[in-house]
Each structure stands twice: as C-alpha cells, then as structure tokens.
Amino acid sequence: MRQIAIMGFGTIGSGVFDVVNTNREILRKNLGEEIQIKHVLDLRDFPGHPVQAVLTHDVNVILEDPEVDVVVETMGGLEPAFTFVRRALEAGKCVATSNKELVAQHGTELLRVARENSVNFFFGASVGGGIPIIRPLLRSLCADDVEEITGILNGTTNYILTKMAQEGSSFEDALREAQDNGFAERKPEADVEGFDACRKIAILSSLMLGRRVDFADIPTEGITGITKEDFRYAAKLGWSIKLLASSRKENGHVYAMVAPGLVKPGHPLFAVCDVFNAIMVHGNMVDDVMFYGRGAGSHATASAVTADILCALRFRHQNVYAGWDAEKQALSDVGSWEKQFLVRAAGDASREEELARAFGQGILVDAGVDGEIGYLTPVISEEKFAEASAALGGVRGRIRVQA
Ligand code: HSE
C-alpha cells in the first residue's frame, strides 16, 4: 500500500480523488500495490463527502507524515503552492502538479530541489490537461531533434473562436456565452489575452530545447482584437482562425510566439474546435505528430495527474530527468521571423498595385467587407511587414498565416 496526499480539493484535486477511487484496481495492477489517499488539504470542509474523513487544514500534517510518498499539488496559483511544493520536495516527497503558472515561473528551481533530494517533480497535467504531451516529448520523441511545436493550448479561446466562426458572433457575445456556459472565467484576461497559452508554450519550449525558456520573453497577442470581419476573410478563403502558441527552430534562430493565426484546411490544427486542445510536434526524423484531446476539465486533467502519481511512486527514491537545464535559452527577436500575412486595408481593389509595392506580389482577397480590401502578402519578415504596413496607411487589421 502506497500513501499519497492531495493539496487543493477544487476541480482537479477532486478529480484526482475520483480517478484514484474509481480506477483503484487498474492502478493497483499497474503499480503492483494499492494507492491510498491519506490526506487532502483544503481550507474548506466538505460535510457528507467521503473526502471529509481524510481532510486536513494544516499542510504540516502532510509534510511531516513519513508515510506519504507523493504529494499532489492542485491548488493553482503561485503562493502558497510554491512554498508547499518546495517544502514537500525538501521533505523527500515526490510532487505531481497541474499548475502551469507554478511550472512556468518556478519549474527550474523546483526541478533542482527535486534533483538535490533524489525525488521527482512531475507536471504532466500542466499543459494540455488530459492530453499526453509532456511525457511523450520527454520519452517517446527523445530520438528526434524537435524543430517545432505549435498548439492550440487554451480551451476557452478556442471555444470563443469556434462560436465566432460558426455563428458569426462578436468577440464580446461569444465571451459572454462562454462565461454563461461555465467555459470561461468571470475574469477571462489570462485566457483571452493569451497569457495562459504563453505559459504553456514556455513549458513545452523548455522541454523541446532542454533549456529554460522564460515566458516573459515570448511575444503574446490574445484574441480580443479578432473581429467578425476577420472571420469574413477566413470564410472567403476557407481557412480557420485559431489562437496558436508556437515555438520553432529556424535558420539558427529560436522563435516563440502566441498570436491568432489563419490555418489552412491541410494543417492538422485546422479542424480543432470548441474547448479541445491540440499540439502538433515536428521532429527531424518522425515528421509531424499530433496530440489532441481535452485540455481542461476535472477528470481529464486528473487522469494526467494520476499517471504522474504512478510514475512518481515507481521512481520514488530516484530522480529521473524530466525537465530542462537551468541555463536560459535566448529567443530570437521575432522581427526576423518570416511569415505570410493577411492584411486588411481601407479602400478597394484599385489599391492592388500599391499593396504589391508595399508588401511584394500577393493576392487580393475581397470578402465583401464595406470599405476595405484584403491582401495576402508573400512570406516576409515581421519587421518588414510592420514597416510596410505603417508606411501604407489605412491598415485596419492583420493576421498571420500558419505555414
Ligand atoms: N483556462 C484554461 C483553458 C484551463 O481555457 O484552457 C486549462 O489550463
């Protein structure tokens, strides 16, 4: 019998409680021993719920219990999660977390503390919820030079963009509907401004590169500027608009960015809709690999946390490499990153020559939007696009096109 503890009995913590109890026999077979939840830490009480029997309000009960091998952190946020996780690792306990903020901000330090104490800090649920992506990157794709990761890493924004595409809703209406249906938070900034996706791509980039990528270095645009008119162009082209989080090695550069992008039908991410997440990984040997599933939700995310619990129990006295080095990976200025753009300019088709002079030979796109014309540029650098765009005047919007 192996004992574990859960810190935080919210959506994901209660999901872990369910997974461990519902799949008790499957887990026992897999591990060769039974797993028992000995303590659950939360500020609240849950009268009438079976968790009440193992509930504690004092973290020291967990940290000072020598029988607890693995501590699950599902509290979210930076504090007190960071302090509690650090103390658990120092006390010789493995930690499994779903907390992307914690991993993006303090992952490097927590990996070091785990190493120094011959335990493990696992974070398989911090990106993509229930989608297996962290361990496949570390273990299954370890023979490849991973050259690109591009993902739809935020379910809230994908739901909003899907509503805008399918129902012609404005961003504000789609957000309100997402909030009413419980998909979006009442305070939606972290999702709609791209901050959540930024932290997740920072974690994946660190794994891809084997070095620490600072999320603060990643240029991030959310979806608040996406309009009904943008979707008119997407519909005209037969493409979709997604919030894409990308990390790419190209011509000696390492780029990363979070921004809305137009996705063509041939791309694996084209048809990923609603709250689903998907991550496309390109390796130099394996080519494209796609991971798809529920990027959030109680049981989906808890499934990934519980898989980490099993792994942590298997390697409970041995640190295994499951992260990145402390050395910082410098990211290149995205100004030199070359892409195609759809630019929306005031005026009509008579501006074609002017647009071609500004951006290079491209393709006019008339989506029937009053008083403006669209233009698909050739592949040019972000810097050249910004210069040409400023000099042109009358630019109403632009969206990058995913290659
Ligand atoms: N707010 C996140 C999302 C939850 O919408 O994807 C999962 O990290």
Measured N-to-C along each axis, helices 228-237 and 155-167 cross at an angle, to the nearest 10 degrees, of: 70
Res 288 pLDDT > 90:
yes
Domains of the chain with bracketed CATH: 2-130+298-328 (3.40.50.720), 134-294 (3.30.360.10), 334-401 (3.30.70.120)
| 344 — pLDDT class (breaks 50, 70, 90) | very high
The rounded Å distance from CA 302 to ligand 1 centre is 14
Banded model confidence at residue 105, pLDDT cuts 50, 70, 90: very high
The Å distance, Cα 155 to ligand 1 centre, comes to 5
Atom of ligand 1 nearest to the CA of 100: 8
Q: Give the DSSP letter of residue 329.
A: P
- The C-alpha angle 375, 377, 378, rounded to 5 degrees, equals 155
Q: Are 258 and 198 in contact (CB under 8 A)?
A: yes
Cβ(201)–Cβ(219) under 8 Å? no
Cβ of 133: how many Cβ atoms within 10 Å? 29
Q: Which of 102, 186, 191, 223 to mutate to test the pocket of ligand 1 (most atoms within 8 A of CB)?
A: 191
Mutational test site, ligand 1, from 163, 183, 196, max ligand atoms within 8 Å of CB? 196
Q: Are 127 and 294 in contact (CB under 8 A)?
A: no
Give the ligand 1 atom nearest the CA of 296. 7
Token pair for 18: 């369910």
Structure tokens at 291: 């991971």
pLDDT confidence band for 181 (50 / 70 / 90): confident
Both tokens of 304, joined, read 């990934």
Structure tokens at 222: 């959310």
Average pLDDT over residues 65-70: 98
Q: Tokens for 352? A: 């074609």
Distance CA 248, CA 38 (A): 43
Q: Is 151 in the pocket of ligand 1 (CB under 6 A)?
A: no
Question: Tell me, what's the pLDDT at 2?
Answer: 98
Q: Would you say residue 37 has pLDDT above 90?
A: yes
Q: What is the pLDDT of residue 14?
A: 98
> What pLDDT is stored for residue 182 in this prediction?
81
Beta bridge partners of 258: 220, 245
Which residues neighbour 258 within 8 Å (Cβ) at sequence distance 6 or greater?
194, 197, 198, 201, 218, 219, 220, 221, 222, 243, 244, 245, 246
295 touches ligand 1 (CB under 6 Å): yes
Tokens representing 357 are 């002079």
Q: Which amino acid is at 344?
A: R
Query: 304: helix, coil or strand?
Result: helix
Q: How far is the CA of 197 from the centre of ligand 1 (A)?
A: 8
Q: How far is the CA of 154 from the centre of ligand 1 (A)?
A: 5
pLDDT (0 to 100) of residue 185: 86
> Counting atoms of ligand 1 from 1, which one is nearest the CA of 277?
6
Percent of the chain at pLDDT > 90 equals 98
* Beta strand residue intervals within 132-229, DSSP E: 146-152, 211-212
Q: Known catalytic residues?
A: 200
| H runs (alpha helix) in 254-316 | 298-314
Residue 171 CA to residue 5 CA, distance in Å, equals: 41
**pLDDT above 70 as % of the chain:** 100
Ligand 1 atom 2, closest CA = 154
User: What pLDDT, on a 0 to 100 scale, did the predictor assign at position 184?
Assistant: 86
Q: Please report the atom of ligand 1 found closest to the CA of residue 183.
A: 5
Q: From the CA of 290, how far away is ligand 1's center (Å)?
A: 19
Taking 90 as the threshold, does the pLDDT of residue 275 lie above it?
Answer: yes
For 332, which DSSP code? P
Tell me how far apart the 2 most distant CA atoms of the chain are, in Å: 77
Task: Indicate the top mutation candidate among 74, 127, 154 to test ligand 1's pocket, ranked by most ligand atoms within 8 A of CB.
Answer: 154
CA nearest ligand 1 atom 8, residue: 296
Separation CA 114–CA 268 (nearest Å)? 36
Distance 222 CA to ligand 1 centre (A): 14
For residues 316-334, average pLDDT: 96
> Tokens 């959506």 — which residue?
11
Region of poorest pLDDT, from 83-97, 175-189, 262-276: 175-189
Residue nearest to atom 7 of ligand 1 (CA): 296
C-beta separation of 72 from 4 below 8 A: yes
Place of tokens 């913590």: 13
User: Is residue 98 within 6 Å of ligand 1 at its C-beta?
Assistant: no
Report the nearest atom of ligand 1 relative to the CA of 159: 5
Q: What amino acid occupies position 53?
A: A
Ligand 1 touching residue 155 (CB < 6 A): yes
Rounded (10°) CA dihedral 114, 120, 126, 129? -170
Residue 387 to residue 195: CA distance in whole angstroms: 27
pLDDT one-digit tens code per residue, 113-161: 999 999 999 999 999 999 999 999 999 999 999 999 999 999 999 999 9
In the reported structure, the alpha carbon of residue 182 is separated from the centroid of ligand 1 by a whole-number distance in angstroms of 12
Atom of ligand 1 nearest to the CA of 190: 1
Do residues 181 and 301 lie in contact, with contact meaning Cβ atoms separated by under 8 Å?
Answer: no
Residue 156 Cβ inside 6 Å of ligand 1? The answer reads yes
Residue range 72-96: mean pLDDT, rounded: 98
pTM: 0.97
For residue 128, give the 3-state DSSP assignment. Answer: coil
pLDDT of 315 above 90: yes
- CA dist., res. 18 & res. 74, Å (int): 14
